[in-house]
Structures are given as C-alpha cells and as structure tokens.
Structure 1
Amino acid sequence: MNLFHFSEENGIEVFVPRVKENRKNMPPVVWAIDDVHAFTFYFPRDCPRIVYTRTNEMSDEDHEKFFGLTSSDIIVTVETDWYERIKRTTLYRYKMPSDTFQLFDACAGYYISPQTIIPQEVEPLTDLLNRLMLLNIEVRFTPNLHPLRNAILNSTINDFGMHRFANAKGN
C-alpha cells in the first residue's frame, strides 16, 4: 500500500508528529493518505472543496440530481476564486513508509503515525486539474460552496468529504 503526504513545501526531510488545529483532542501524529484517495489533495492546502462519490445507496432522486449529467463516479467542486491558484500551484507528493501508520478513517483513506517519519521520496506535481481529469474525476467550479454543502447534507449521499470548508465564502 502506498501512503502519501502532500505539501506546497518542497524539501521536507522529516515529518514530526504534531497536533492538528482541528483535532486538538488527539495526540501528535503524522498524517498520510492512501493512493486511492490521494486525488482529494490535488489542491492548494487551504482550498475549500467538496468531494462526493456515486454509490448504490443513493436514492434515484439524488442520483439524478447530483450525477444525472455525468458519467464520472467522483465529482469535486471548488469555489471559482480558487481556479487560478490551482492552475499555478505545484504540490509535492511525499511517499511515506507505511510500516508505522495505522488506519484512521477508511472512507477518507486517512492514516496516522505517532512516529517521526522520513519520507522515501518526493515528487513535484503540476497541472493538477488535468491530473484529476485523467482519473475521470469531474471538476466543477461554483461561486459559493454553501448551496452544494446544504444539498449534500440533506441527501442520501453517504460518501463525501468537505475539505477546508472553513475557508469557503460565507452564505
């Protein structure tokens, strides 16, 4: 299994466990994501985005509402103001040794380690939108994510993530 950590910072030689700002109830850890879910981090760190996946558990009405005009099984929606920054961003994908990591969230593909980690390799990633499209992921842009957030929370979609939503525009 491949595990990765994404950063806009190049040259990180050591990952030291730390407490995340939004998870202060947890001990210090190093975070990683599996290769299946890595695409959810093909964005600048602070970019608010909603990722949702087609599943068999969705109602027919929600299937039509959210996936009726696409053949993609995964849709990522981002606020329009982030378009240029996404186009300009170079990310660095750090490959992490998996031996000390434990599964934290299977749905999101998150893994954590209490150990200091030395990455095995680093690879720069550019042309992030094209990378997503090559994975058959539909990328949508909207002026404001709140209407989509509200619609998903009131739907039968059960495989979704709302990343950095605190950075989304207000209602």
Structure 2
Amino acid sequence: MRPPAGQVLHFSEDPHITRFAPPGSLSPYVWALNAEQAPAYWFPRDCPRVLAWPGPRTTVADRGLLQDHRVHAIEYGWLGRLRTVLLYAYRFDARPFRPLGTPDPYAMVATEAVQPLGPPEPVGDLLALHERAGIELRLLPSLWKLHDLVAASSLQFSCIRMRNADASA
C-alpha cells in the first residue's frame, strides 16, 4: 500500500483517529510517508526491523550482500504479530507536509493539525504486501548482525525500533 501522487500515508493500529495534531514539544510533527517511504512501516508499530537497499553510491560488492534488491528483516519472534496485526492506512493531502531528513528524507511531516481524506483503510496481509512489492522479507534470530553489516556498508538502510530487538542472540 503506497499513496498516489499528491497524497501521503500514516500507518496505525488504531482505526479511530479523526484528527492528527502535533503532540507537543517532544515531537512537534504529524508524521506521514510518501510512496518511497511507505514500505518501512508495513509492520506492527513496535516491531524492530532492519531495512536495506542499494543506492546510487552502493558498491558492487555491497550490492551482492542483498542480491541487488531491497531487503526487510525482522526477528522470528515477531512473525506471529506481523501475520495477525490489523494495520490501517490514513490518507492525507500531501500539501501540508514537507520532507524530513537530508539528503534522503525518511518521513514527511506537518507542523499543523491535519484531517484524513477519509476513513482509514485496512492494509491487509503484510507478507503478501512485501511479496507484491518485490521486497525480500528475512527472518533472523537477532537483527544485530545485519544491523552492524549494513551500517558498515555502502548500502542505504534504516533500522527502526531497535530498542525492541533481541540483544541475547
């Protein structure tokens, strides 16, 4: 599930939100995602994940680490939750949002309250969503080795909710 041009998405497990407003000084933003960023959030909210993909500056050797395609990885312990979570997508007009992060934005943010364009849409089967998008989903006992590998490489990557990753493996 990706937004069309002119829209951004916010993913949530809560289907009852009617208005999104910046929560305050700790986070002065309403967060959303464009089409490129959306796959990073095809997961339960607290699920730790490592996402990696080749970019324009990725070396030939590092492209081989991923067989030259996008990879998302989670821990085995999160597979059941990934398969059963009810995730919803809220659609917004993109105009109040601006990119956050340079040189490669990782989110879209608004500093004012925004209302969804309509009711939230169920995202559906997250495994099937990855498959249709051509994103390899890897299951690992722990994410930390992959985290360290991609962080030391020339790959583009994102590591999300790592505070919830298994540190014992």
Q: With the length of structure 1 as denominator, give the TM-score of the two structures.
A: 0.87
Secondary structure in 2 matching 1:95: strand
1:5-84 matches, within 5 Å, as 5-19=10-24, 24=26, 28-64=28-64, 66-68=65-67, 73-84=69-80
Deviates more, 1:82-91 or 1:31-40: 31-40
2:157 alignment partner, one of 135, 155, 160: 160
What code does the residue aligned with 2:140 have?
A: T
* CA spacing shift, 1:112–1:56, aligned 2, 3 Å: closer
Work out whether residues 36 and 109 of structure 1, in 8 Å CA contact, stay in contact via their aligned partners in 2.
Answer: no
Match of 2:134 in 1: 136
C-alpha contact 1:34 1:109 (8 A) present in aligned 2: no
Deviation at 1:108, TM superposition (A): 4.4
Deviation, 1:98, is 1.6
SS at structure 2 position matched to 1:156: coil
Offset from partner CA, 1:81-111 (integer Å, 9 cap, x none)? 0001000011110001222111113634411
> Is 1:8–1:92's contact at 8 Å kept on the other side of the alignment?
yes
Identity %: 27
| Contact 1:51 1:162 (8 Å CA) reproduced | yes
Q: State how far apart, in whole Å, the 1-side matches of 2:59 and 2:34 are.
A: 29
User: Cα deviations across residues 135-160 of structure 1 (Å, max 9, x unaligned)?
Assistant: 00000000000011111111121x11
**Partner in structure 2 of residue 115 of structure 1:** 112
Output the CA distance in 2 between the equivalents of 1:19 and 1:149: 31
Normalising by the residue count of structure 2, what TM-score does the alignment of the two structures yield?
0.88
Q: Tell me which amino acid in the other structure corresponds to 1:12.
A: I
SS of the aligned residue for 2:33 comes to strand
Task: Give unpaired runs (5+ residues) of structure 1.
Answer: none
Structure 2 gap segments, 5+ residues each:
1-5
| Change over 3 Å in CA distance of 1:30–1:56 after alignment to 2 | closer
Q: 1:92 and 2:88 equivalent?
A: yes
